[in-house]
């Protein structure tokens, strides 16, 4: 059987009891290590599980899935996914491939950033579609997120923005030469995201949001040192929230007073928060 086991958001103790039992008795254990990361390394997981963990990079999952699934009609294979197995990244491909091979599957859910972001105090009911923000390059500044945010803004809903991570990336030179040398991992920060959002509004000038629109920054959701802030995009572009992973939520105008009362404690500056809030938010339609 193929078991897809969610690991939750922060560290090795965020696995569920059900998930841990599966990991302990599985014949092989893989860790999906390219779309999200825990705040602890593989060695710590191995020590906690009392067994070896095989790192599964994008290549292995996307083109070598038969290696992962080998023998899983008889043996138990655990495939560990940070967050939830069907959360921000879904592993439906792997499940479909398993079915084709006549291998049964079992999913163990866990917290995902898509629901964990509720820790901000913003109601999950008031979120529209989630968008992703990638690291801009000089000649590549995709702004499709801006159109999606507009759709949420028109309805008055919040937008969760998931931030790019670059793990096991090769430089163009190393790729061209076939050298398996990888760049250090990079994780987009709340400040970088806010900065890129401001740049795109500056380019496109369609008024989807403004420099004084309010957004929340969340760092290390679910960890003991989780950090939340709320401020204008201009303020967030300067904020420093420490280690990854970070996420951003752009507020929608339908923000409820109960949400305001909760998030205000995280304001970078209460005066600018109150000014922006009065200007744009708490509108019921």
Binding site for S-adenosyl-L-methionine, by residue number, is 9, 84, 87, 112-113, 163, 221, 246
Q: Which is nearer to its own copies, 74 or 285 (CB)?
A: 285
Candidates 192, 204, 198; CA nearest to 165 is: 192
Chain centroid to Cα 260, Å, comes to 24
For the bound state, the minimum distance from the C-beta of residue 133 to its own copies, rounded and expressed in Å, comes to 13
For the bound state, the minimum distance from the C-beta of residue 157 to its own copies, rounded and expressed in Å, comes to 6
Q: What is the dihedral of CA 249, 270, 245, 83, to 10 degrees?
A: -50
Q: Which is nearer to its own copies, 16 or 234 (CB)?
A: 16
Q: Is 87 in the site for its own copies (CB under 8 A)?
A: yes
By CB under 8 A, which span of 7-15, 31-39, 195-203, 274-282 interacts with its own copies? Answer: 7-15
CB atoms within 10 A of CB 139: 5
For the bound state, the minimum distance from the C-beta of residue 236 to its own copies, rounded and expressed in Å, comes to 21
Q: Which is nearer to its own copies, 13 or 139 (CB)?
A: 13
Q: Is 109 in the site for its own copies (CB under 8 A)?
A: yes
SS3 195: helix
Residue pair 280/214 in contact (Cβ under 8 Å)? The answer is yes
Contact residue for its own copies among 2, 30, 84, 192 (CB under 8 A): 84
Residues contributing to the annotated binding site: 9, 84, 87, 112-113, 163, 221, 246
CB neighbour list of residue 216: distance below 8 Å, 6 or more residues apart: 120, 122, 228, 229, 230, 248, 249, 251, 263, 266
Please give the Cα distance from 102 to 37 (Å, whole number). 30
Residue pair 14/80 in contact (Cβ under 8 Å)? The answer is no
Query: Which two structure tokens, joined as six digits, stand for 189?
Result: 């920060």
Q: Is 231 in the site for its own copies (CB under 8 A)?
A: no
Chain centroid to Cα 183, Å, comes to 21
For the bound state, the minimum distance from the C-beta of residue 279 to its own copies, rounded and expressed in Å, comes to 23
Strand partners, 133: 163
For the bound state, the minimum distance from the C-beta of residue 192 to its own copies, rounded and expressed in Å, comes to 21
Contact residue for its own copies among 47, 181, 243, 258 (CB under 8 A): 258
- Half-sphere exposure for 241 (CA within 13 Å, toward CB): 32
Q: Which is nearer to its own copies, 92 or 171 (CB)?
A: 92
Contact residue for its own copies among 99, 141, 177, 179 (CB under 8 A): 99
Residue pair 240/191 in contact (Cβ under 8 Å)? The answer is yes
Q: Is 143 in the site for its own copies (CB under 8 A)?
A: no
> Which residues contribute to the site for its own copies (CB under 8 A)?
6, 8-9, 11-18, 20-21, 84-88, 90, 92-93, 95-96, 99, 106-112, 114-116, 118-121, 123-132, 151, 155, 157, 221-222, 224, 258, 261-262, 265
């Amino acid at each position: 059987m193929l078991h897809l086991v969610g690991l939750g958001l922060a560290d090795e103790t965020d696995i569920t009891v059900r998930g841990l039992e599966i990991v302990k008795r599985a014949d092989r254990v893989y860790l999906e290590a390219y779309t999200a990361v825990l705040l602890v390394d593989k060695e710590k997981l191995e020590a906690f599980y009392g067994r070896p963990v095989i790192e599964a990079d994008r290549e292995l999952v996307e083109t070598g899935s038969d290696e992962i699934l080998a023998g899983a009609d008889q043996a138990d294979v655990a495939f560990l996914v940070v967050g939830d197995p069907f959360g921000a990244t879904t592993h439906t491909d792997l499940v479909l491939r398993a079915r084709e091979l006549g291998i049964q599957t079992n999913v163990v859910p866990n917290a995902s950033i898509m629901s964990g972001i509720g820790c901000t105090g913003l109601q999950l009911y008031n979120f529209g579609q989630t968008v992703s923000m990638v690291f801009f390059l000089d000649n590549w500044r995709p702004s499709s997120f801006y159109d999606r945010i507009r759709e949420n803004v028109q309805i008055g809903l919040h937008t969760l923005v998931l931030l790019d991570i670059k793990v096991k990336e090769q430089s163009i030179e190393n790729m061209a030469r076939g050298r398996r040398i990888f760049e250090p991992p990079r994780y987009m920060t709340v400040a970088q995201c806010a900065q890129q959002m401001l740049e795109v509004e500056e380019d496109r000038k369609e008024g989807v949001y403004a420099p004084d629109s309010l957004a929340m920054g969340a760092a290390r959701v679910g960890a003991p040192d989780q950090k939340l802030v709320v401020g204008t995009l201009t303020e967030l572009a300067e904020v420093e929230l420490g280690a990854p992973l970070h996420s951003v939520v752009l507020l929608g105008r339908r923000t409820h007073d109960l949400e305001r009362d909760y998030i205000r404690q995280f304001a970078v500056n209460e005066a600018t928060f109150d000014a922006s809030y009065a200007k744009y938010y708490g509108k019921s339609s």
